[in-house]
Amino acid sequence: MRAFIFPGQGSQSVGMGKALADASPVAREIFQEVDEALGQHLFRLMTEGPESDLTLTENAQPAIMANAIATLRVLEREGNVRLSEKADFVAGHSLGEYTALCAAGALDIATTARLLKTRGRAMQAAVPVGEGAMAALLGADIEKAEALAAAAAEGEVCQVANDNDPGQVVISGHRAAIERAIALVKEHGIKRGVLLPVSAPFHCVLMQPAADVMAQALAGAPLSAPVVPVYANVLAAPIAAPDEVRARLVEQVTGRVRWRESVAAMTEGGVTQFVEFGGKVLGPMVKRISPDATVTSVISMDDIEALLAGL
């Protein structure tokens, strides 16, 4: 069994998508469609920068999605491949869940781009700059991370945001609480705590204003049942009913990204091959969770051709 997976924020870089667009009219069509949906020259920003603008949450989120979907669509159209015949599940990390839903036909690409633009703006606006922070805990399992977050909170928000793999957990909350957590890592048997270069504390209760915005946006968005089940970040389980998809996407704004559990559940369900589109971020996590799994990253035309030969 096979899962197609899609990366989250942090996988953006200036130049992304350029080689693919140069090589494929299908990719160029996808990037143009996203530009038109958003009413901005996002593809120019992706290929030329500046990096500071591309890194802005409201730009990074639709850009990462567009790059991954363009890669997938080139595979599908030029390789005459149907996702429903080659993938048993789809999943994405945080914003990647929207990409996964688009890949599986639950959302069209214009709607996905607009939702992610809205999501990025709402997440940025939810907490004043400087009040929130996130940190990666290296050498931490979920139990150690939860104990550290509880000890560091002191009445402020400090909670697990991303359970990425057996050795990496991300915490999120008020800046002072996150800084306290970093200072306490050794006492909790954790190797290191690293402050992340993010502009807001994602996936914690401080994001509730953004969740409210997304509840409204998703209520009015056309959403169909995906052609294959989508693993929901907040459940670490597959879902397909449109109303449940909407509810879980709203929960995801403030909820934990249960990536480690999602990959483990897919593996236990029989998935032996994971294919990451548009990035090389999730593959190493998957290997740490499921060492026996086969992991493929698909970014270039060469990658697409190699994957086609093995499908």
Q: What is the domain-level CATH number for residue 157?
A: 3.30.70.250
Looking at the structure, tell me whether residues 13 and 74 fall in a common domain. Answer: yes
41 is catalytic: no
Judge if 70 and 104 occupy the same domain.
yes
Q: Are residues 83 and 221 in the same domain?
A: yes
Domain check: are 93 and 226 in the same one? yes
Q: What is the CATH number of the domain that holds 295?
A: 3.40.366.10
In this structure, the answer to whether residues 193 and 227 fall within a common structural domain is no
- Rg of the Cα trace of the chain? 19
Domain boundary among 198, 225, 242: 198
pLDDT along the chain (311 residues), means of 10: 95 94 97 98 97 92 97 96 96 98 98 97 93 96 97 98 97 98 97 91 98 97 96 97 97 98 98 97 97 97 94 86
Selected catalytic residue, list 94, 172, 262, 297:
94
Q: Are residues 85 and 194 in the same domain?
A: no
Same domain, 216 and 181: no
Residue-level pLDDT at 242: 96
Looking at the structure of the chain, the number of domains it has is 2
- φ/ψ bin of 248: left (φ > 0), alpha (ψ from -120 to 50), beta (otherwise): alpha
pLDDT of residue 311: 86
Among residues 24, 93, 203, 262, which one is catalytic? 203
Q: Two tokens at 291?
A: 């060492």
Asked about 93 being catalytic, the answer comes back as: no
pTM: 0.96
107 plus 140 within the same structural domain: no
Instruction: Give residue 129's pLDDT.
Output: 86
Same domain (yes/no): 217, 289: yes
> Domain check: are 49 and 175 in the same one?
no
| Last residue in a domain, options 182, 198, 214 | 198
- My answer on whether 179 and 218 are in the same domain is no
Provide the residue range defining the domain that includes 180.
132-198
Q: How far apart (Å, rounded) are the C-alpha atoms in residues 65 and 203? A: 19
141 and 180 co-located in one domain: yes
Domain boundary among 198, 217, 243: 198
